[in-house]
Amino acid sequence: MVEDRFSTDYGIARELYNNQDKTLVFEKVDGYDFRVIGNLCCSRDSLYRALSTGKEEYNEKVARAVENPVTPRIVKNARCFEGEVKGLHELPILRHFRGDGGKYITSGVVVAKDPEHGRNASVHRLMVMGENRLAIRLVERHLYEYHRRAEEGGEPLEIAIAIGVHPAVLYAAGYSPPRGYDELSLANALLDGKLELARCRTVDVEVPAESEIVIEGRILPGERVDEGPFVDITGTYDIVREQPVVEVTGIAHRRNAYYHALLPGGREHKVFMGLPIENKIYREVKKVVDVRNVCLTEGGCNWLHGAVAIFKKRAKDGRRAIHSAIEAHPSMKHVIVVDDDIDVFDPVRVEFALATRFQATKDAIVFPGVKGSSLDPSADKNAITAKLGLDATKPLDRLKDFESAEI
Ligand code: MN
């Protein structure tokens, strides 16, 4: 609990930045009636707790949920519609870093529907452009396609932005399953069928009924504005791009709602962006090799670098894992594959594998000129980059040379 009064202009962001391992509740916010909560889920362990699982069962539990999504039921009289406000200026939206293009909503789960592909939920940064206008960053994935399809028919795309949702919902929205897969049904499976949805009031979209705040609106056709700069997961400035505009049609909230502030580049951002993708990689690699664990490493911003531990049985398993991991996560720039005796969450052990089990002339695969992450400042403007896979597994025909000494 933070007793002092803090400002949404840098003040709260600075506190969140300086206390990344602690959940902070700001009871008093300069100029706003809403309370702010941040650093809600800022470690692997806190996410495991939120998903009612532990380190060992986590990957398999999520894999089961992904393969068995459960459509959430829709309820009436949802708590997220207990109160309403007139405009974005009434919400304590933060300005985070010097040089950011404006105030940004960073924890919003954006729900939309497409006549063919159904419901989609994904997380997008939203820059405040006015009392009832937001710029929305649409990376070329599902919501981008939904908007493009609506725009081609000259129509706006109705959306709802849910802020202050259960961690399972943010996790599912970050999972990036194939198009047509409803992320809210994944969240519901992760919550053992306990997720309830509510119909919005001004748009034909459903949101989690327990959301703290719901912003309803439509992404307009044919309109673009400059969005950015914005400090993203790498802690560096993402560039200004022309992005679509959301016209807000209504804002509702629970009684005494909390505004969830998610610090860009902070630990919580990395948990919700990186951890779902680790599981996605785990599931993909498992199709070709027996996999023990996957880590998107901290030094790689929990996004650009991965370590994958496998139970190696065939000579080419290391290479198979490299190809599969890069395919599962197109933003992966460097991936190191290690044996199952290496803890992928221990960077010293991963480097040890590289030092003692890897030969650059035969164990490296370079992928030149491929599409990577738009968040890597060293990639070109179209996110074209070079990738590298490092096979640091022991050669099966020389295992004796790699025995660890014991006393
Ligand atoms: Mn999707």
- Rounded distance from Cα 315 to ligand 1 centre (Å): 36
- Rounded distance from Cα 143 to ligand 1 centre (Å): 7
Nearest 5°: CA angle at 175, between 169 and 180?
95
- Rounded distance from Cα 398 to ligand 1 centre (Å): 45
pLDDT score of 56 = 84
- The pTM of the full predicted model, rounded to 2 decimals, is 0.94
Structure tokens at 51: 């998903």
pLDDT score of 55 = 85
- Say how far apart CA 169 and CA 206 lie, in whole Å: 13
Torsion on CA atoms 191, 193, 194, 197, rounded to nearest 10: 110
- Say how far apart CA 384 and CA 372 lie, in whole Å: 6
Structure tokens at 344: 């992928």
User: How many residues in total does the chain contain?
Assistant: 407
Q: Who contacts 388 (Cβ-Cβ below 8 Å, separation ≥6)?
A: 333, 334, 335, 364, 365, 366, 367
If you ran DSSP here, which 8-state letter would residue 394 be given?
P
pLDDT score of 202 = 98
pLDDT score of 4 = 87
- Rounded distance from Cα 255 to ligand 1 centre (Å): 30
Whether residue 221 has a cis bond before it, omega within 30° of 0? no
Distance of CA 227 to the CA centre of its chain: 19
Q: Who contacts 140 (Cβ-Cβ below 8 Å, separation ≥6)?
A: none
How many other CB atoms sit within 10 Å of the CB of residue 405? 4
- Rounded distance from Cα 396 to ligand 1 centre (Å): 40
Catalytic machinery residues: 232
Nearest 5°: CA angle at 314, between 313 and 319?
110
pLDDT along the chain (407 residues), means of 10: 90 97 96 97 95 92 98 97 98 97 98 98 98 97 98 98 98 96 98 98 98 98 98 93 98 98 96 96 98 96 97 98 98 98 97 98 98 94 96 96 91
The model's pLDDT over 135-194, given as tens digits with 9 standing for 90+, comes to: 999 999 999 999 999 999 999 999 999 999 999 999 999 999 999 999 999 999 999 999
- Rounded distance from Cα 259 to ligand 1 centre (Å): 25
* Sheet of 206-208, strand order: 73-74, 196-199, 206-208
- Rounded distance from Cα 174 to ligand 1 centre (Å): 9
- Rounded distance from Cα 112 to ligand 1 centre (Å): 10
- Rounded distance from Cα 179 to ligand 1 centre (Å): 5
- Say how far apart CA 3 and CA 94 lie, in whole Å: 18
Across the chain, which distance is largest between two alpha carbons, in Å?
Answer: 74
Burial 188-210 (b: 16+ CB within 10 A, else e): bbbbeeebbbbbbeebebbbbbb
Nearest Cα residue to 367 out of 331, 403, 394, 313: 331
